[in-house]
Structure 1
Amino acid sequence: MRVLLVGGGGREHALAWALSASSLLTKLWCAPGNAGIAALAECVPIPAEDVPALLAFASEQQVDLVVAGPEAPLTLGLADACAGAGIRCFGPSAAAARLEGSKSFMKEVADAAGAPTARWQRFDDPEAARAYIRAQGAPIVVKADGLAAGKGVVVATTVEEAEDAIAGIMESRVHGTAGATVVIEECLAGEEISFFALCDGETALPLGAAQDHKRVGEGDTGPNTGGMGAYSPPPAFTPELQAQVMASCIRPTLAEMARRGTPFRGVLFAGLMLTAEGPKLLEYNVRFGDPECQALMVRLRSDLLAALLAACDGELANIDLRWEPVHSIVVVMAAAGYPGPYAKGTVIGGLDRAATIDGVEVFHAGTARRDGAVVATGGRVLGITATGPTLRAARDAAYAAVDALDWPEGFCRRDIGWRALGGAG
């Protein structure tokens, strides 16, 4: 099969790695790709958001399957455009992608489906939002309704902090039009889990869970990031809890989306909070997480391409996913200064040395090749991913690979997996 993978981050490198192992694959392209993906696929310089150019390329190259990595092309209608051209696309329609594109839409669907979620209200007026915050008190969560590159959520510990969030999101428009509307919801306490399910519109198949580390500092301190690391499987998310989430959230959501005439096909990413009352739904995303995808792909034994095709063709009921009996961990290497301003173009050495460590895969996120060297082009730059018979063994291998790198301008957290391993370090 001829496959076009859309995106250029660590998630897409992990997907390219898994897809390239399929016996069904004959040709793999990636748009736009990165320096690591270039070893597995032919990279083409088309931005992930340029739906017309992606469609033209897929048509010209007689692509059999388009696989969308990030959410932006899906919300812009990539799957719809592919369907119109008779090309399979793994990912939901623009209408179904509103589960991620609009926080209020997602909450409406969750309520209609009976999925357990935090109490919430939607606001278009900043003063009404402030009045609600003062009435509810803190802690409280303020979310930009639209897509904000993972940065539109403020967990406010005081009323003043929540009101400042309203000023920034709704009045200063720090996230642009995504902040025209906000969702304000109760703050849930517990452990946060990322759970993934493959969906074909009617059937949902569990695709595993991971726990990630959003904050930049060790001990989960400092500002939020796109993700500084992840591990899988998370011990807190038992098989019994997975079955409960499938029954209370995933399957009812699929049924509600189908009832609305917008069946969901693709990967449904449920952000969950394991509360004292049981799992509750924080949000839905309509694509693989990053860096959770890296942690899942290295554990997957089944043919990923076959599974994605089954999701496109409504055949998931005939698929049984198999997993390696290992633990995995991802340590994100970021450019100094991230998530604030950071330098670009610094040279990364030692990549070959790091990749020789047993059980390690080095997934690229923000990289390019210039003058024969790999250089950093983004904030999150590498995902050092390792597997092992225990989480501790996987962690030790990942950090050994980190130490094999020669990149003074990069940094990472040294405590990824600390909750599961019983403490920092």
Structure 2
Amino acid sequence: MRVLVIGDGAREHALCWKLVESPLVDELYCAPGGDGVAVVAECVPISPSALQTLLSYCDENDIEFVIVDSLAAIENGLVDMLNRNGYPAFGPDMGGVKLEISKSFAKEFCQRRDIPSPRFACFENSDAAMRFLDEIGLPVVIQPDRAVDRAKVAICRTRADAEAAIAARLSKPDAGAIVIEEFLDGEEISYAVITDGNVVLPLTSTTPRWDGEATPSRPGCLSPAPAVTPEIEREIVERIFTPTVEGMKAERRMAKGLLSARIMLTPEGPKVLDYKVRLSDPDWQAIVLRLQGDLMPALVSSYDEMLYRFNPFRWHDEAAAVLVIKTDGTLDSEKVATAVDAAEIADSDIVVFQSYQDRELGVTAGGKDLDDMRKRLRAAAERIEQVLQAS
């Protein structure tokens, strides 16, 4: 099978790293990919936003399956276009993507479908928003209706902070709506599934707060999340993901492809903070390290709506973790390659996933001993940074 992946993040590198193992994949391409992806797949210099060019590439190169992970491509209708033209594609259509790109839609959807989530309200008027603060109390979370990857999200613990956040977000003529929701206490985790629009095939959990090593300048995650017991996992699938998929289908917006959610584990149970309808960084990098077996059949069956035939995924006993090194995107590619080699050669269990222009380097490792894994990840990250900072 000739497979094309659309995207340029470290998550696409991780995906291609996993797919190249599949006996179903004869040729693997990625548009546009990056230096890391080029080690395992052929990179195609086409922007994810160039829909017609991508379609022509599929025509000219006999592509048999497309995995669309770029949000720009999904939003602009690439999955819809590919399917109309006879190319099977893994990913959501323009109806399904609304779960991610519109916070108001996602929260109103949860309310309609009785999916546990925080109290919220949407506003385009600052006076009404200020009045809602009196009703909901503090602290609150304030974000634009469109807040991709947690951009421009404010956690406000004082009235002054909340009023400033509301004013800042509604001051522009084209600002659009904002969402104000209650701040939830608990432990934040993420959970991911694959769906064909009818059934849910669970993947696993991750957590962004696992060891004190991850910081805003060097974020990370651990999989599985220690707080997610088998009982909590069942509750997440049954109370969140199954009604999400069934509700989207009932509303004629099929949720197909990979679906994940940020979830707060509260004393009242798991509650959805937001959704994502594509692979997530750095979570996916940890997930693929733990995943046993061939991923490709599940991706094809998501398109074919045949996931009901699948047994649960199998997982390595070890946990997996990621530390992300962020750069300004101007590093010399040969120096980055040398830095990556320094980390991976020194510790054969280390795998580094690279984004486009090496803006993010996901340093990953697996292991049963979390303390040992922390030390090895820290050592690998330090090796990379030493090479990158050398003159």
TM range (shorter): over 0.9
State the shift of 1:315 in Å: 1.3
Which structure 2 segments of 5+ residues have no match? Answer: none
**TM-score normalised by the chain length of structure 1:** 0.85
Secondary structure (helix, strand or coil) at the match of 2:150 reads coil
User: Measured at CA, do residues 57 and 291 of structure 1 come closer, stay the same or move farther in structure 2, by a change above 3 Å?
Assistant: same
Q: Partner residue of 1:339?
A: none
Maintained 8 Å contact 2:140/2:180: yes
Pairs within 5 Å for 1:58-73: 58-73=58-73
Structure 2 vs 1, CA of residues 203 and 101 (structure 1 numbering), >3 Å: closer, same or farther?
same
Q: How does the TM-score come out when normalised to structure 2?
A: 0.92
Tell me the alpha carbon deviations over residues 47-106 of structure 1, each in whole angstroms, 9 at most, x when there is no partner: 223222222222222211111223232122121111111111111111111000111111
Q: Which amino acid letter does the alignment assign opposite residue 315 of structure 2? A: W
Amino acid at match of 2:66: V
Asked if 1:398 is matched to 2:377, the reply is yes
Task: Identify the residue that residue 302 of structure 2 maps to in structure 1.
Answer: 311
What CA distance in whole angstroms lies between the structure 2 residues aligned with 1:407 and 1:80? 45
State the 1:126 CA deviation.
2.5
Taking a change above 3 Å as real, the CA distance of residues 392 and 204 of structure 1, as seen in their structure-2 partners, is same
Pick from 179, 182, 197 the counterpart of residue 183 of structure 1. Answer: 179
In structure 2, distance between residues paired with 1:68 and 1:383: 21
C-alpha displacement of 1:259:
0.6
Match of 2:323 among 321, 331, 335: 331
Of Structure 1 and Structure 2, the greater helix share is in: 2
Look up the SS of the partner of 1:245 in the other structure. helix
Query: What percent of counterpart residues are identical?
Result: 35
Give yes or no for the alignment of 1:351 onto 2:340: yes
Q: Does 1:386 align with 2:365?
A: yes
Shift of 1:343: 6.7
Structure 1: stretches of 5+ with no match in the other structure: 336-341, 368-375, 411-425
Please say which of residues 228-237 and 104-113 is displaced more in the overlay. Answer: 104-113
| Residue identity opposite 2:188 in structure 1 | E
Query: Do 2:214 and 2:221's aligned partners in 1 also have CA atoms closer than 8 Å?
Result: no
Q: Does 1:294 align with 2:290?
A: no
Shift of 1:7: 1.0
Is 1:211 the counterpart of 2:207? The answer is yes
Tell which deviates more after alignment, 65-74 or 311-320: 65-74
Question: Displacement of 1:168 after TM fit?
Answer: 2.3
Identify which of 242, 248, 261 aligns with 1:270: 261
What one-letter code is carried by the residue in structure 2 that aligns with 1:344?
T
How many Å separate the matches in 1 of 2:169 and 2:201?
A: 36
1:161 matches 2:161: yes
- Structure 1 residue 158: deviation in Å? 1.4
Per the alignment, do residues 56 and 166 of structure 1 end up closer, same or farther by CA in structure 2, a change over 3 Å counting? farther
CA distance in 2, matches of 1:114, 1:235: 27
Provide closer, same or farther for how the CA distance between residues 240 and 218 of structure 1 changes in structure 2, counting only shifts above 3 A: closer
Per-residue deviation, 1:332 = 0.6
**Aligned residue number for residue 127 of structure 1:** 127
CA-to-aligned-CA distance 1:342-393 (integer Å, 9 cap, x gap):
47235434321211213111111243xxxxxxxx4x2xx2000001123233
Give distance in 2, aligned partners of 1:33 and 1:42: 8
Pairing 1:361–2:358 present: no
The answer as to whether partners of 1:229 and 1:291 remain within 8 angstroms in 2 is yes
User: Separation in 1 of the partners of 2:303 and 2:82?
Assistant: 12
- TM-aligned CA deviation for residue 260 of structure 1: 0.9
CA distance in 2 between counterparts of 1:143 and 1:351 reads 36
In structure 1, distance between residues paired with 2:125 and 2:43: 45
SS of the residue corresponding to residue 236 of structure 1 reads coil
Q: Which has the larger displacement, 68-77 or 8-17?
A: 68-77
Change (3 A) 1:387 1:283: same
Summarize the Cα distance change of 1:220–1:155 in structure 2 as closer, same or farther, 3 Å threshold: farther
Residue type at the aligned position of 2:272: L
Q: Aligned with 1:34: secondary structure?
A: coil
Report deviation, 1:330. 0.3
Shift of 1:137: 3.1
- Provide the residue aligned with 2:24 in structure 1: 24
Letter in 2 for 1:330: V
Deviation digits for residues 17-49 of structure 1 (CA, Å, limit 9, x no counterpart): 011110100111111111110111111111223
**Residues in 2 aligned to 1:83 and 1:366: alpha-carbon distance in whole angstroms:** 27
Q: Separation in 2 of the partners of 1:148 and 1:300?
A: 27
Distance 1:218 1:171, change over 3 A: farther
SS state of the match for residue 121, structure 2? Answer: strand
Contact 2:339–2:388, Cα closer than 8 Å, also in 1 = no
**In 2, distance between residues paired with 1:149 and 1:243?**
26
Distance 1:49 1:246 in 2: 33
- Over 3 Å counting, the alpha-carbon distance change for 1:116 and 1:149 in structure 2 is closer
The corresponding residue for 2:33 is 33
Structure 1 residues 93 and 310 mapped into 2: Cα distance closer, same or farther (>3 Å)?
same
